[in-house]
Structure 1
Amino acid sequence: MLTRRIVMAGALASPLVVRRAFAQSATLSVNSALTDDDPMFNGLRAFKEAVEKRSGGSLRVNLFPSSQLGPDEDVLEQARAGAGVAVLVDGGRLAPYVHEFGILGAPYIASGFPELRKIATSPLFEGWTEKLRKASGHQVLSFNWFQGDRHLLTNKPVTTPADLGGVRMRTPGAPVWLETIRAMGATPTPLPWTEVYSALQLRAIDGAEAQYPAVWGARLYEVIKNITKTGHINLITGLVGSRAWFDGLSPEQRTILRDEALNGGDVGSKATLASLDDFEKKLRAAKVEIATPDLTPFREATKVVYDKLNYAALRREVDAAIAG
């Protein structure tokens, strides 16, 4: 009888132990410029579901598509202040804090998602993550969210970099993006993504550059006539939040967030890759002319970006991480 009571007491105590491990409840609000029908959003949904399930509900995740919480830069500032927010963001926007992150947006840095994922899960990258925690107070949860290769969107055909002379092309404001577009021959024009459609419609800009899912989600096929498949930037992004908020969680909760951010990135990336052919078909059906140019002149033109932004030596380290 005594043995039975001890066993029962142990069984009753176990849930209490579990609840105590996750005693602190917390909510993470995730902002993204993506629309909720973007294939990458499947990854965010998977992240939300898995985090809430594994944490027994002690961690809640709210998703905000279409930049509902504001521009990426604003959300990054909220994260620096310790807010429970995170944002899917490219490395260029983190480069002002840690220079190395900018190389993730450099032209032709990798060949496809497998190589990008090797970079984002390497010891080299983890060192950048630690530097970011100290430099800006940001916490990288994972950086394996591949949104596709970015192409040129214009109202005139583009065959070589020379065709981009005088073209005002929207791009994010990070130096690596600006210098890449400038090296390709266009005039970089920073604008929030949400303003691109109207800017093209009003001819405030002459072109933009983006990946297929974003082009479709923003309905840019209504205001551009040509897509040139340069693939000049392999858009890998990361889920980045607040170090202070993250460090306030239990060790178990921190592990869950990082594990499921990596899993969610894989889910979203695979969904994106599976969607690209279908998006191209839909864009062609929408009367957009899609051309694949000789990439050699574009690759040659953009090599200068690595020297100009002091990434030449770092690229060799990245190449080694890919090969390793």
Structure 2
Amino acid sequence: MKFVKRIVLPFITSISLLSAPAALAKDYKMALGDAAGGTQWELGTKFAELLDEKSKGKLKVNLFPNGQLGNEQDTVNNASLGLLDFSVLAINNVTPFSPTVGLLTMPYVILSPEEAKSLTQGKIGEELVKNTVRDANVRIVGWAYSGFRVLTNSKRPIKSLKDLKGLVIRVPRNEIMMSTYQAWGVNPTPMAWSETFTGLQLGVVDGQDNPYITIDAMKFNEVQKYVTNIRYIFSIEPLIVSESVFQSQKPEVQAMILEAGKEATEHSYKFLLESEEKIKRSLIAKGMEIHTPVNAEKEWIDLAKKKVWPKFYDSIGGKAKLDEALATLGRKAH
């Protein structure tokens, strides 16, 4: 817990909106970083519906989208303290609190939705859940699958790394993601999620990366023109519950939470497969252009593997852990 305490302290002031939960709370609060309509909302609303159904109306979950209860890293802090019940957030915002989950954000490890599901719902996923309880006092009870983080910008089509030169790209405050852009020759600009739309609108940054579902939900088509289909990170957004809140519940309530999380996870996976192509077509109809990198991203991939993977072996649990993940996916060790 020493690691968590070092992180929690800077964010203590952000908890004023939240109240400590009762031991058998019937009304839970769930924070969402994204707007209503995206993957986080879909997972959260399905989870709330299932928990209501399983408890015969006794357990309610109230959703607070658009960062109303603090930014995504704030919500991990607040949940770790037992001051927030649930949060759905990007996996990269869990990484500072439990570094081994950074495995899921290593560039070009996950290359398909099926691989994302395989890692999160298999042995490696179970291990990451245990690590997050240990490190951050929060428990992952569900997973949202959002698709690959594609690159958008307002300046020009991007088909090769040389096209990136001179662009200012917003990235989350995540070391792995920033290092990836640096490997590609870009000095990225870390920016809070809540500031990103305004940053794009005002031209403080030229571009950003996020899945199609998020681009649509956040209406980035209003401030971005060009999309580049890259596959460097498959966006996974866990549903976390405060471990102290979870442990304060009766066993039957804990079972309902876990069951609802598992079923909502399957719903999220189906939602992605059914909706992404429709969303792409909708964004094109709204004026966005979609481009694909030349040579199947070979240059992007080679640089990421060479310059980024070795840099983060230690934080994700060692090179052997990455090799285990690749073997799980039927690929050779690096």
Instruction: Please give the range of the TM-score, normalised by the shorter of the 2 chains.
Output: 0.7 to 0.9
The residue aligned with 1:296 is 298
CA–CA separation in structure 2 for the residues paired with 1:265 and 1:184: 33
Deviation of 1:61 (Å): 0.9
CA–CA separation in structure 1 for the residues paired with 2:65 and 2:225: 27
CA–CA separation in structure 2 for the residues paired with 1:274 and 1:319: 27
CA–CA separation in structure 2 for the residues paired with 1:246 and 1:273: 31
TM-score by length of 2: 0.84
- Other structure's SS at 1:37 match: coil
Deviation of 1:25 (Å): 3.7
- Other structure's SS at 2:51 match: helix
| Partners of 1:166 and 1:187 within 8 A in 2 | no
The residue aligned with 1:318 is 325
CA–CA separation in structure 2 for the residues paired with 1:140 and 1:112: 22
| Partners of 1:146 and 1:237 within 8 A in 2 | yes
The residue aligned with 1:152 is 151
Unpaired segments of 5 or more residues in structure 2? 1-22
| Partners of 1:87 and 1:239 within 8 A in 2 | yes
The residue aligned with 2:197 is 197
Deviation of 1:40 (Å): 4.9
Q: What letter is aligned with 2:329? A: I
| Partners of 1:29 and 1:86 within 8 A in 2 | yes
| Partners of 2:91 and 2:235 within 8 A in 1 | no
Deviation of 1:39 (Å): 5.1
The residue aligned with 1:97 is 97
| Partners of 2:28 and 2:61 within 8 A in 1 | yes
Matched ranges for 1:60-75 at <5 A: 60-75=60-75
CA–CA separation in structure 1 for the residues paired with 2:124 and 2:218: 35
- Aligned pair count? 301
Deviation of 1:212 (Å): 0.9
The residue aligned with 1:12 is none
Deviations 1:96-152 (A, max 9, x none): 23221011112122122221112112223222222221222111112x310111111
The residue aligned with 1:45 is 45
Bigger strand share: 1
- Other structure's SS at 2:163 match: helix
Matched ranges for 1:159-178 at <5 A: 159-178=159-178
CA–CA separation in structure 2 for the residues paired with 1:184 and 1:241: 36
| Partners of 1:44 and 1:268 within 8 A in 2 | no
Deviation of 1:299 (Å): 1.1
| Partners of 1:171 and 1:178 within 8 A in 2 | yes
> In 2 relative to 1, CA 293–147 (structure 1 residues): closer, same or farther, beyond 3 Å?
same
> In 2 relative to 1, CA 208–57 (structure 1 residues): closer, same or farther, beyond 3 Å?
same
CA–CA separation in structure 2 for the residues paired with 1:93 and 1:194: 13
1:307 to 305, 310, 313: 310
CA–CA separation in structure 2 for the residues paired with 1:89 and 1:218: 15
Q: What letter is aligned with 1:71? A: N
Deviation of 1:33 (Å): 2.1
The residue aligned with 1:241 is 241
CA–CA separation in structure 2 for the residues paired with 1:322 and 1:260: 27
Comparing 179-188 with 222-231, greater Cα deviation is found at: 179-188
CA–CA separation in structure 2 for the residues paired with 1:236 and 1:115: 11
Q: What letter is aligned with 2:128? A: W
The residue aligned with 2:14 is none
CA–CA separation in structure 2 for the residues paired with 1:94 and 1:218: 21
Q: What letter is aligned with 2:324? A: E
- Other structure's SS at 1:231 match: coil
- Other structure's SS at 1:232 match: coil
| Partners of 2:147 and 2:272 within 8 A in 1 | yes
Matched ranges for 1:1-324 at <5 A: 24-38=24-38, 40-142=40-142, 144-154=143-153, 155-294=155-294, 295-303=297-305, 304-310=307-313, 312-323=319-330
CA–CA separation in structure 1 for the residues paired with 2:134 and 2:308: 27
- Other structure's SS at 1:221 match: helix
Comparing 280-289 with 84-93, greater Cα deviation is found at: 84-93
- Other structure's SS at 2:36 match: coil
| Partners of 1:216 and 1:283 within 8 A in 2 | yes
Largest Rg, 1 or 2? 1
Unpaired segments of 5 or more residues in structure 1? 1-22
- Other structure's SS at 1:146 match: strand
